[in-house]
Amino acid sequence: MKIALVDSGLGLLPAAAAVRRLRPDAELVLSADPDGMPWGPRAPADLGERVLACARAAAAYGPDVLIVACNTASVHALPALRAELEPALPVVGTVPAVKPAAAGGGPLAVWATPATTGSAYQRRLIRDFAGGAAATEVPCPGLADAVEHADEAAVDAALAAAAGRTPRDVAAVVLGCTHYELVGERIRAAVRRPGAPPVALYGSAGAVAGQALRRIGAEPDPAAAPTGSLTVLLSGRPGALPAAALGYAEGRLLHGAPARSGAVPG
């Protein structure tokens, strides 16, 4: 089985690692866009073209399913991707985990990029799935970029600023950008209040990986032989995982897979 993922950069690592844990035998094709990142500030039409280009590059490798491992790309490009690629290639988008976070009880915060915070899309998610729970939108300027470059000082500064905008009584934080899952434990520490229980974090990687397997009728098999290969595309060009990826457990997990040459199969 072959599973492709697209994102502007390292935001695809959490979902790719989740797939690898569920199916160590799956071949992975990671299609990132270093030439066009970040996607968030781009106009929707421009962003859509960048996402389509990455998806087409990945589709040339004959995957069984394509994961759009980016919240912003899922908002703006999912209909166009499905119109072009389905039904031959199922496409799975990413949605912030507002519903399960609200089901846990207590007030919640949704951490997201400034472009997503306050958007009609995010507010509709909160309205439809928060179930009446108090929800605070928290913009996190600079956090995704800091995570992308594994800039420790910049990550710390962005986390401190976002934590300062987060109500002290929140029981859960929804990670509304896939990059944020790479620093999940640091987010938990940043919002921890003395004497209070740890804040629950809700990301999308595990759910997206599970949905991708369901779309192709595959079952999780964590005990499968770890034979899955890794192909990396950088704005359509064969490449390798960026050095910054190895600063995260997810990147190190994927780095251990056999690398493919990147040549498009004939």
Residues with active-site annotation: 70, 177
- Helix/strand/coil (H, E, C) string of 53-97? HHHHHHHCCCCCEEEECCHHHHHHHHHHHHHHHCCCCCEECCCCC
167 in helix, strand or coil?
coil
In what order do the strands lie in the sheet containing 200-202?
135-139, 108-112, 172-175, 200-202
**What torsion do the CA atoms of 176, 253, 4, 125 make, to the nearest 10 degrees?**
-10
**d(C-alpha 204, C-alpha 26), whole Å:** 20
Torsional class of 55: left (φ above 0), alpha (ψ -120 to 50), beta (otherwise) = alpha
| Residues in CB range of 225: below 8 A, 6 or more apart | 24, 25
Helix, strand or coil, per DSSP, at residue 190: helix
- How is residue 38 written in tokens? 């970040």
Of 75, 55, 103, 56, which is closest to residue 177 (Cα–Cα)?
75
